[in-house]
């Protein structure tokens, strides 16, 4: 019996060491799965960042034709209509679960839906799209602070990447100088960045029993309901906007792509790689906004801005890169 036991033990060890053995194959599969999840998470964060960059340009383009609150309200109405065929049934099935976590949903809706986009639109009244993207790029710093406060170890590489990217953002805002001289629009945008960072950090605590699409649909619905009183006031005091192609087209873009598609991609990215690493990818936004604002609005890009973009991209690669194995 002792001999049989030693034989079984020897065979088990050989199986674990063998290239095709169960032990090694399982470890390899786990490592491959982790690498795939990291790559997919970064890709989804990039998609959300690029699509959201276009929303800054549309907000700036509509600043003199559609009041900020009306922009936000119709954006989420369009988003709800786009998401309803895929998510309404799931939200109804999970209505009891959603009711149990109503406070969480209410806070997420306030930060990520009602407040964030309205502040962005308000900032666009007096701030260029490029500057908005630059200020918004500071939000990952707060995301990382939230994660560190929650006990997550960021690591020297990721911290260095964030600092490099943040330095590029500050130099970009100061036109080559470290300046914190913000105007009114800059302050509105800083408030939007804080709301978005808080929303992203809050997503890490989303109850797992809530389906992703059900969460988005409910958050969009609650956020739209919060905006309704302000929308009624805006229409009464400022008048309704003219539903022409020049206004409806951008609203359809921000409703379908910047809301339904981008928020789904961002929420999934955070679930896969965390808010800090997704936030590092988010530093790509000022680069994307600068390119789009030049192409669509004619806002110039200076050599100093191009140099700062190199810093931002370098920080993104350093902060969100995959470590070698």
The string of DSSP codes covering 143-179 is HHHHHHHTT----HHHHHHHHHHHHHHHHHHTTTS--
What would the two tokens of residue 73 be?
Answer: 């309200």
Residue 172: closest CA among 31, 301, 21, 315: 301
What are the mean pLDDT values of the chain's consecutive 10-residue runs (325 residues total)? 44 42 46 73 88 87 91 94 92 95 95 93 88 76 75 79 78 67 78 88 87 91 96 94 90 88 85 78 78 80 74 71 44
This prediction's pTM: 0.74
Query: What is 204-252 written as a DSSP string?
Result: TT--TTS-HHHHHHHHHHHHHHHHHHHHHHHHHHH-PPP--HHHHHHHH
| pLDDT at res. 231 | 96
CB 129 within 8 A of CB 292: yes
Dist CA 274 CA 314 (whole Å): 20
Q: Residues 219, 202: contact at Cβ < 8 Å?
A: no
How far apart, in whole angstroms, are the C-alpha atoms of residue 88 and residue 90?
5
pLDDT at residue number 108: 94
* Residue 21 per-residue DSSP state: S
- Residue 53 · residue 117 · CB < 8 Å: no
- The whole-number pLDDT of residue 67 equals 93
Helix (H) or strand (E) holding 253: helix 245-255
Distances (CA, A) of 45 to 31, 119, 200: 21, 22, 12
**How distant, in Å, are the alpha carbons of 49, 61, 78, 287 from that of 185?**
21, 15, 26, 20
What pLDDT does 277 receive?
78
């Amino acid at each position: 019996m002792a001999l049989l036991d030693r034989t079984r033990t020897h065979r088990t060890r050989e199986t674990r060491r063998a290239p095709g053995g169960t032990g090694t194959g399982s470890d390899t599969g786990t490592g491959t799965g982790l690498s795939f999840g990291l790559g997919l998470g970064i890709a989804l964060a990039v998609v959300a960042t690029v699509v959201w960059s276009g929303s800054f340009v549309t907000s700036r383009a509509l600043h003199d034709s559609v009041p900020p609150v009306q922009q936000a309200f119709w954006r989420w109405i369009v988003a709800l209509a786009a998401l309803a065929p895929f998510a309404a049934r799931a939200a109804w099935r999970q209505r009891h679960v959603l009711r149990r976590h109503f406070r969480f949903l209410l806070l997420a809706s306030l930060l990520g839906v009602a407040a964030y986009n309205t502040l962005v639109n308000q900032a666009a009244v007096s701030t260029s799209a490029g500057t908005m993207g630059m200020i918004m790029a500071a939000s990952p710093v707060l995301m990382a602070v939230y994660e560190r406060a929650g006990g997550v170890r960021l690591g020297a590489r990721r911290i260095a990447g964030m600092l490099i990217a943040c330095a590029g953002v500050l130099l970009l805002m100061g036109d080559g100088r470290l300046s914190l001289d913000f105007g009114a629009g800059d302050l509105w945008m800083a408030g939007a960045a804080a709301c978005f960072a808080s929303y992203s950090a809050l997503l890490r605590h989303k109850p797992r029993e809530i389906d992703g699409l059900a969460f988005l649909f409910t958050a969009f619905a609650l956020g739209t309901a919060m905006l309704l009183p302000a929308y009624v006031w805006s229409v009464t005091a400022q008048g309704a906007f003219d539903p022409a192609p020049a206004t409806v087209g951008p609203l359809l873009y921000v409703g379908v792509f910047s809301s339904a598609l981008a928020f789904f991609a961002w929420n999934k990215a955070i679930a896969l790689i965390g808010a800090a690493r997704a936030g590092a990818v988010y530093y790509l936004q000022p680069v994307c906004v600068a390119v789009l604002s030049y192409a669509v609005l004619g806002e110039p890009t200076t050599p100093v801005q191009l140099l700062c973009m190199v810093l931002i991209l370098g920080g993104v690669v350093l902060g969100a890169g995959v470590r070698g194995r």
